[in-house]
Amino acid sequence: MQNTEILEKFEDMKKNMADGSLTNGLVIQDLENRIRNLEADVTAKKRIILEKSETNNALWEKIKALEIKEEKMFSSRLSYSDIKDKFHWQAVKRLELDVQHDDTTVIKDMVKTFHAFFGKIIRVKGMRFIILYFNTETHLMNAINESAKINDISQGLWLKKENDFIDENGELKELTKRSNYKNDASRSNAFCMKWEQQGGPSTHSALSRRHNQ
């Protein structure tokens, strides 16, 4: 009887030990899984941080390149005549209502399409126009010819002289210098529009041309 009890206790101990080993094994396996998951999570976070850092560095490089380009374009070493010559060859195009892209995208596309070195968008009485600037007369004329192939003449690029400005009717008007002029409402309005679009000395309105004729 006593031997039987001893054997039963021994069997119970073996069973408990086996159960304990199984439990310990499961606990160890769970801890290992957690460690692997943590390591994977840390690795993923490091990769995300690295990718963001690389993206930021790339953006800064682009910004620096643009700043250098802008500095070259508007270098303080350039004289007034040099700046005037640099922006001498101009073309203008009215942007139709169906062109809903933001200004930056439109300028980027137009500059690339017509091989200009600079572009800007102006607004006159709710109408939107883009002015493109070219390095040479040849580049300008090539752009106008290329525009004629893509658009109707009335919707393409138009030659814009230095003293031209766009009035409130969407017309190109030529401005000529004059030492003394009557400061009536029409000429004052023309001067204000000229100043906004080009900048320059006192002027008065002369010949007008319709941009969309």
Cα–Cα distance measured from residue 99 to residue 78, given in angstroms and rounded to the nearest whole number: 36
Q: Report which of residues 150 and 211 the model is more confident about.
A: 150
- C-alpha to C-alpha distance for 47 and 50, rounded to whole angstroms: 5
Contact, 206 vs 175, CB < 8 A?
A: yes
Between these two residues, 169 and 68, which has the higher pLDDT value?
Answer: 169
pLDDT of residue 132: 94
Q: Taking the complete model, does pTM exceed 0.75, yes or no?
A: no
Q: What digits encode the pLDDT tens for the residues 4-55? A: 666 666 566 666 665 566 666 677 777 788 888 888 888 888 888 888 888 8
The pLDDT of residue 191 is: 41
What is the C-alpha separation between 92 and 159, in angstroms, rounded? 7
* pLDDT per residue as tens digits for the range 103-129: 888 899 899 999 999 999 988 888 889
Residue pair 162/85 in contact (Cβ under 8 Å)? The answer is: no
Model confidence over 58-69: pLDDT tens digits? 888 877 777 666
The answer to whether 141 and 187 are in contact (CB under 8 A) is no
CATH, domain 89-159, list 3.30.70.330, 3.30.1490.100, 3.40.50.300, 1.10.10.10? 3.30.70.330
Angle at 185 between CA 162 and CA 121, to 5 degrees: 40
**Segment 74-93 mean pLDDT:** 73
Vertex 59, ends 57 and 65: CA angle to 5°? 105
pLDDT at 169: 81
Q: Looking at residue 142, what is its pLDDT?
A: 92
The pLDDT of residue 195 is 44
147-156, 188-197, 203-212: least confident range: 203-212
CB atoms within 10 A of CB 167: 19
* Tokens found for residue 78: 């350039």
